[in-house]
Amino acid sequence: MRRALRLESVGRPSFDVTGWPEDGRGIPPPGARSGLRGWEAYSVAPPDTGRGGAGLSHMIKGSDVTKGLRALAPKPDGPPPAPAVQRLRVRYAKRGRLRFTSHRDVARAVERAIRRAGLPVAYSAGFSPHPKISYAGAVATGVASEAEYLEINLARECAPDQVRADLDAALPAGIDVMDIIDVADAGEVVAPGEKPRALPDLLEASLWRVRLDRVEPSVAERAVQEFLKAGLIEVERLTKKGRRRFDVRAAVVACALDRRAMQEADVACAILRIIVRHSTPAVRPDDVLTGLRQVAGLSPPSPPLVTRLAQGPLDADGEVADPLAPNRESAPAAHTRAEAADSVRVTGSDVVGAWSRG
């Protein structure tokens, strides 16, 4: 059996597509589907009429044409996957040599760890089901982090503490689970009928620690002062959309020397504490260093060691708050917990000391 698809639109001639195999799950050919945008109606009819007959014509407005085609699309055999009944937000760290792994490698490691831990992760529907895991604000390759975030959808409710222990044990050394909360217990106050904000919307800024080996603190301090006095500092970077120029000064909320960290460092260096607001295009720590070089000639003799200590919403004091519990007054600040974990668990060249206002 074959079907006919008739498209109708005001001010445009009717458009009939016929002759694709039905076989119970047939869909229009790609050439026909590509021309559906803007059509206001379609009708499906058997080949004996050639056009939509009574009871077979379906008037659909605007974008709903696509929904009608979904009803004709092939569907996989077997029962649908179990629905997600619980959503967990996970904060994890990327430390040591694992800072040189890409985001894609980290995602694959997380998926394997979930399988090894036996977590009942929910899967998407379709011919190629994927685990329902989403990532937000991933750090660049070569940068360590104490504040990476992802969300896992589970098909069966589990205790967050048990999930944290099982997942942390299954992950490779250097990727450590720091905290897990149920989104239903996130502590965010919302109006009746509204949903809590999505995780990416909560990540408004990042707190960075940038270690510059063999740079005199006095030189770095003068460069920071020149940077903060500037009203506009444009840098150029190659992005996916080509070379773009953007202002890095507007994205920097705070920039200062971390004097306590410099005292505890194992080598002579200057260490900067930088809070950068998330924007498009994203302003990275290396963009800030490019701006420091432009306005003050600061050029470190060796590559900087960059660590993200926190990311989340900006509070009234301009500090980065905890995105997992924005309304819990008893929760410690995100950067405080990151520093505590960093001083205890990070080893080797990543240990540069705790944060201080100086």
DSSP letters for 130-196: -B-EEEESPPPTT-EEEEEEEEEEESS---HHHHHHHHHHHSPTTEEEEEEEEGGGS-----TTPPP
Is residue 180 classed exposed, middle or buried when 0-12, 13-18 and 19+ CB atoms within 10 A define those classes? buried
Strands 305-312 and 144-154, how do they pair? Answer: parallel
3-class secondary structure, 267: coil
Instruction: Measure the CA–CA gap between 288 and 292, rounded to whole angstroms.
Output: 6
One-letter amino acid of 51: R
Can you name the CATH fold of 86-185?
A: Alpha-Beta Plaits (3.30.70)
Which positions ≥6 away from 248 have C-beta within 8 Å? Answer: 233, 234, 235, 283, 287, 288, 290, 291
Give the residues of the chain that fall short of pLDDT 70.
1-73, 185-193, 196, 326-358
Count of beta carbons in the 10 Å neighbourhood of residue 16: 16
Q: Find the angle CA(272)-CA(275)-CA(276) to the nearest 5 degrees.
A: 120
pLDDT at 191: 63
3-class secondary structure, 211: strand
**pTM of full prediction above 0.75:** no
pLDDT at 246: 93
Count of beta carbons in the 10 Å neighbourhood of residue 197: 14
**Cα dihedral sign for 186, 189, 194, 196?**
negative
pLDDT at 187: 53
pLDDT at 351: 33
Instruction: Measure the CA–CA gap between 44 and 21, rounded to whole angstroms.
Output: 14
C-beta of residue 301 within 8 angstroms of C-beta of residue 214: yes
Q: Which two tokens stand for residue 349?
A: 């060249």
